[in-house]
Amino acid sequence: MAPTKTPALVGHRGWPARYPENTLEGFAAAVGAGARWLECDVQVSADGVPFVCHDLSLKRTAGIDREITEIPAAELISVTVGEGPRFGERYAEVKLTPLTALIGWLETQPQVTLFVEIKRQSLRHFGSASVVRSVLSACQAALKQCVIISFDHVCLSLARTQGAAVIGWATEEFPPEIHHLVYTLDPDYLFTSDERFADVHNALNGPWQWVVYQTQDPQRAMQLAAQGADLVETNDIGAMLRSPEFAPP
């Protein structure tokens, strides 16, 4: 009988089940719990500075009904993103994180690999060339620990030409030209959702590693691994790593 494959777990936006998402506090806690793979999201300020943020709007995390692409970095660095509706005042002082600050912390964690997702809203607002350039510049100090990822394959092609040695393409659609796009781009990682994994995995054979987003169920993560997933993202990295399926023997 073949041994059971155990996937690597990725802290999706840090540890958002316990901490505000995409914050230094959440990433540090995830690593403290044993995470060795993390994923963050990047949006860009009005003056071209990358910040660690998923949504275009700051409404959900900061309670500010404004778009990050319209606010200069000098103003953004004082924005708190403690997710009051979820956590009350517990993280009221937690600030929005510039990507350079996260990369500075990453340098102190040589065992950690960070997936850096460039969000499409910023790419559309500023253009791929300038956004990719600013993100790679921010990552430079720990670029060997970073995997640049995006749902935008053009952005990833640019990242490769600008020095990103490792890239990952995320797909939520299945257009007719996907085979051509994937084999032309030849990413190191392919990301897809739990719901679509079986279909996408069956359709696209290649040397890339498969990353599935996301589940809080250890048994489901093991099922995905049995189907071919190499890494599985989760919002509750600490609980997942403590589960019997992932606890050290």
Torsion, CA 109, CA 115, CA 116, CA 120, rounded to 10: -170
pLDDT of 1 reads 38
pLDDT of 173 reads 74
In a domain, 88, yes or no: no
Mean pLDDT for 215-226 is 97
How does pLDDT run across 136-184, given as a tens digit for each residue? 999 999 999 999 999 999 999 999 999 999 999 998 777 778 889 999 9
In a domain, 147, yes or no: yes
Reported as half-sphere exposure (CB side, CA atoms, 13 A), residue 95 has a value of 12
How does pLDDT run across 23-80, given as a tens digit for each residue? 999 999 999 999 999 999 999 999 999 999 999 999 999 999 999 999 999 999 999 9
In a domain, 70, yes or no: no
In a domain, 159, yes or no: yes
pLDDT of 176 reads 76
pLDDT of 3 reads 55
Both tokens of 173, joined, read 């659609």
pLDDT of 105 reads 98
**Do the strands 37-44 and 50-52 form a parallel or antiparallel pair, or are they unpaired?**
antiparallel
How does pLDDT run across 89-128, given as a tens digit for each residue? 999 999 999 999 999 999 999 999 999 999 999 999 999 9
In a domain, 138, yes or no: yes
Count of structural domains within the chain: 1
Q: Which domain holds residue 111?
A: 8-42+99-242
Average predicted confidence (pLDDT) for the chain: 95
Tell me, what amino acid is at 27?
Answer: F
In a domain, 149, yes or no: yes
**Cα–Cα distance list, 2 to 5, 153, 188, 195, 235 (Å):** 9, 36, 26, 26, 29
The pTM assigned to this predicted structure is 0.97
In a domain, 84, yes or no: no
18 touches 235 (CB < 8 A) = no
Residue 132 belongs to a domain with what CATH number?
A: 3.20.20.190
In a domain, 117, yes or no: yes
Helix/strand/coil (H, E, C) string of the chain?
CCCCCCCEEEEECCCCCCCCCCCHHHHHHHHHCCCCEEEEEEEECCCCCEEECCCCECHHHHCCCCEHHHCCHHHHCCCECCCHHHHCCCCCCCECEEHHHHHHHHCCCCCCEEEEEECHHHHHHHCHHHHHHHHHHHHHHHHHHEEEEECCHHHHHHHHHCCCCCEEEECCCCCCCHHHHHHHHCCCEEEEECCCHHHHHHHCCCCCEEEEECCCCHHHHHHHHHCCCCEEEECCHHHHHHCCCCCCC
